[in-house]
Amino acid sequence: MNKDEQFMSEALREAKKSIGQTSPNPAVGAVLVLRNRIVARGHHRRAGLPHAEIECLQRFNRAVPKGAVLYVTLEPCSSVGRTGACTEAIIRSGIKSVVIGTADPNPRHRGRGLEILRNAGIEVRSGVLAERCAALNEAFNKWIATGIPFVIAKCGMSLDGRLTLPADEGRWITSAAARRDAQTLRAQSDAILIGAETLRVDNPRLTVRNAGASRQPIRVVMTRSGKLPPRSRIFTDRNAKRTLVYRNEPLAAVLADLGKKDVVSVTIEGGGDVLGHALDQRLIDKVQIYIAPIFTGGGVTAFSGKGSRSTLESARLDRIQFEKIGPDLCLSGYPKYPASALGE
């Protein structure tokens, strides 16, 4: 690992502190380096607060010496939003060298920040640990380019692919350890989506339940009839105003509307019909499945959609990862959809 990669790794470490906190903005980290030593750090904490570059420079809190290098995981913004343009702040600081991880994923702004900095006489090197920097904001990258949220399908199922136990048994298939791990995914999601039957049967809270949670996701319910239990937790708890109900709307239309509401990421938590429909419609970007070492024969099948017409047209997982959590196995990956299945 060369020095640029070493310091970009530290900027990535800062950026990871932002995950789940900055939506609809990306998670970004920055470090200021002088004579091969980090003298200041910063990360974007929340939309409306200073961006990573600005926080880093504010923490240095004095004139930037000649020879200092700023490392930032994402191309500095060149437009004025809730905060000023980071490119202008960098130019005013007197920094003469900037190293950037990955380009702005917004097609309207990509490369403009680099051009502005270079035109100001600043040396710019980009593409350092680009894949790692881009992967950090996979949800934002999709949403900013398409207007559609990044969709994660999450479920806990048995070895025989069931989401439920027999009717007279308890509620949980997966272990407490797996359920605690799933809370991390909730904490990083802008919205949790379920079907009406899941609401009727489970009466879930769909909240992040840990002491460090700084925000709660929007709860989304899809229903055909509109007949939902009015005393359900999501309609009566302190987060009730963050609950949305879509009646007789296609999932694609629901996602498009959520994207307009600045929802960058959506986690589908069930039930089987919603998960299956999302897969059939090729709307899932990532899956996170917790598999318990048990055969249940329960009545609800995970991903109970129409399925593919042939093996060749089946979605296959790419970039698969496995992790053992307690007695359970967590599998994550990214579905790849054949062109024939997409009608291309």
Which residues, 6+ apart, have CB-to-CB distance to 294 below 8 Å? 158, 159, 173
In this structure, are residues 139 and 265 in contact, taking their beta carbons and an 8 Å threshold?
A: yes
Select which of 5, 14, 53, 249 is catalytic. Answer: 53
How does DSSP classify residue 312?
G
Q: For residue 139, give both structure tokens.
A: 């949800």
Q: Is the torsion defined by CA of 316, 178, 216, 302 positive or negative?
A: positive
* Sheet order of strands, 29-34 included: 37-43, 29-34, 69-74, 97-102, 123-126
Paired tokens of 328: 């359970």
Residue 53 annotated among the catalytic residues of the structure:
yes
Q: Which distant-in-sequence residues (6+ apart) come within 8 Å of 105 by Cβ? A: 26, 134, 137, 140, 141, 144, 145
Give the up-direction half-sphere exposure of residue 152: CA atoms within 13 A in the CB hemisphere.
21
Closest CA to 223 of 235, 241, 207: 235
Q: Which residues are catalytic?
A: 53
